[in-house]
Amino acid sequence: QVQLVESGGGSVQAGGSLRLSCAKSGRTYTNYMGWFRQPPGKEREGVAMIYTSGGATYYADSVKGRFTIAQEDAENAYLQMDDLKPEDTAMYYCAAGTFSTEETALYVFRLGGHGFDYWGQGTQVTVSS
């Protein structure tokens, strides 16, 4: 089994920064880790994703140039969020999964992550104007 634990959420003013961490435990192999968010009253959406077996990264258009996803090591990933905006306010979730192709992973990512096998409990990010 895989367990994911997020940390690093909080409240910040617009223009500020936060770093979210995701700690993965368990021996089950996965090759993608992603960050997703769900704003109040809205559907879950993909924010950033990393191919943990090679390092390729993917971002939603709304966060390109402001957010960075990277691996701390083989089992942990983080999301560095800079220049935060009020519209970034949401519950943020870390997820891990295994996909046979990049195309499949991207398709699932763009659908809000339905298809990722493992999820963390979420961490709240609130950005005030």
111 confidence band (pLDDT: 50, 70, 90): very high
Lookup result for tokens 């223009």: 15
Is pLDDT at 74 greater than 90 in this prediction?
Answer: no
Strand locations in 14-122, DSSP E?
A: 18-25, 32-38, 45-51, 57-59, 67-73, 76-81, 90-97, 118-119
Q: How far apart are CA 126 and CA 129, in angstroms?
A: 10
State what percent of residues in the chain have pLDDT above 70. Answer: 100
Q: % helix / strand / coil in the chain, to the nearest 5?
A: 10, 50, 40
pLDDT in the model for residue 88: 98
Residue found by looking up tokens 């920064």 in the block:
17
Report the pLDDT value the prediction gives residue 65, as an integer from 0 to 100. 98
For residue 61, the model assigns a pLDDT of 97
Q: Mean of the per-residue pLDDT values for the chain? A: 96
